Structure 1
Amino acid sequence: MAAAFSQSNNRLIGILGFVLLNLLISPHSSLSYSIHDLLQRNGLPAGLVPKSVKSFNLDETGVLEVHLDQPCLAKFENRVYFETVIRGNLSYGELKGLQGLSQEELFLWLPVKDIIVDDPSSGLILFDIGVVHKQFSLSLFEYPPDCKQPEHKILQSGIWKEERLDIQR
């Protein structure tokens, strides 16, 4: 009886060890978990945020907070400005109530309020910038962009300042 008990304990320990090892090396483990993985698992393209993400947090209510080392600009079809912290409510196919992301439209910097992928098979992604809804090809956001610090420009209280040119966001 002691031998049977010992043998079943060894099997249990072996199974637990196998499960723990699989958790550690699986693509969903915290060791290989990235913001880009999180976006893809939630029906959004990986390239919505730049490569240079320092950290991120998704709380139990669905609020996603992404931290960058510094504010930066990226180019998709239009230029996009990422503040140091980008925050929004993440649900499947949606990032709503965004803060910290602006898009250039006709020399104006407008805050992006929502990003929605209603139907992935359509190949389209929708950016709600308040005044209008812009549709883009999902392929523009397939890969995380390089993000560069703006040259000779600074953003102060929602206004881009460049030599003698002020552009309202």
Structure 2
Amino acid sequence: MAKQHLLLAVVLVASILHHAATSEAIRPANSTDAATTVYDVLEQNNLPRGLLPLGVKSYVLHPGGGLEVTLPSECNFAVAVAGKQFTFRYGTSVSGVIKSGSISRVNGVRVQVEFAWLGFNQVTRAGNQLTIELEKSTQSFPVSAFAQSPRCS
């Protein structure tokens, strides 16, 4: 479940960056324009909102798809898939480049795989599967695992 939340965060960052391609925007997380939340940016780019945890303070979407997300504090959560548990750790600043169906050049998110903390480079959606490219491996998750944004612990 944590891995799913990490993927959601990456996707969210990528979506915000894509939205910025048409205009640079800085939006508080509690913006009254429902179509301009970072979670909306993720969904507009065919990515699940659960890639980012609840509580995003603000985001910036740059021209070209660059996305920067600010969280109030470091965020940790776990995701269980196929009998394995993955712990995701988001820093207070998360960024990437969002395009339809993917977030690349992800920074600020790490995943614990067994005993190692690995950064991940990209999240890609193909049908009902999300694939996360880690530093040394690739992990697939059902999109449904990221349907809801996680709460941080």
| 1:40 counterpart SS class | helix
User: How far 1:30 sits from its partner (Å)?
Assistant: 6.2
TM-score (norm 1): 0.66
1:3: which partner in 2? none
Are residues 1:127 and 2:132 paired? Answer: yes
Q: Which runs of 4+ in 1 moved over 3 A?
A: none
For structure 2, which runs of at least 5 residues remain unmatched after alignment? Answer: 1-30, 81-85
Alignment check: 8 A CA contact 1:116 1:126 kept: yes
Partner residue, 1:136: 141
1:56 aligns with 2:66: no
Deviation for aligned residue 1:31: 1.6
Q: Output the CA distance in 2 between the equivalents of 1:116 and 1:108.
A: 22
Distance 2:32 2:132 in 1: 30
Q: Once the 2 structures are TM-superposed, how far is the Cα of residue 112 of structure 1 from its aligned partner?
A: 1.1
- Structure 1 counterpart of 2:116, from 92, 108, 120: 108
Q: For the Cα contact (< 8 Å) 1:76–1:141, is it kept in 2? A: no
RMSD across aligned positions (CA): 1.3
RCO greater where, 1 or 2, for CA within 8 Å and sep 6 or more? 2
**What amino acid maps onto 1:86 in structure 2?**
V
Structure 1: give runs of 5+ residues left out of the alignment.
1-28, 149-169
Structure with the largest fraction of strand: 2
Aligned to 2:78: 75
Please state how far the C-alpha of 1:115 moved relative to its aligned partner: 0.6
- Paired residues, number: 117
Report which of the two structures shows the higher radius of gyration computed on alpha carbons: 1
In 2, distance between residues paired with 1:113 and 1:71? 19
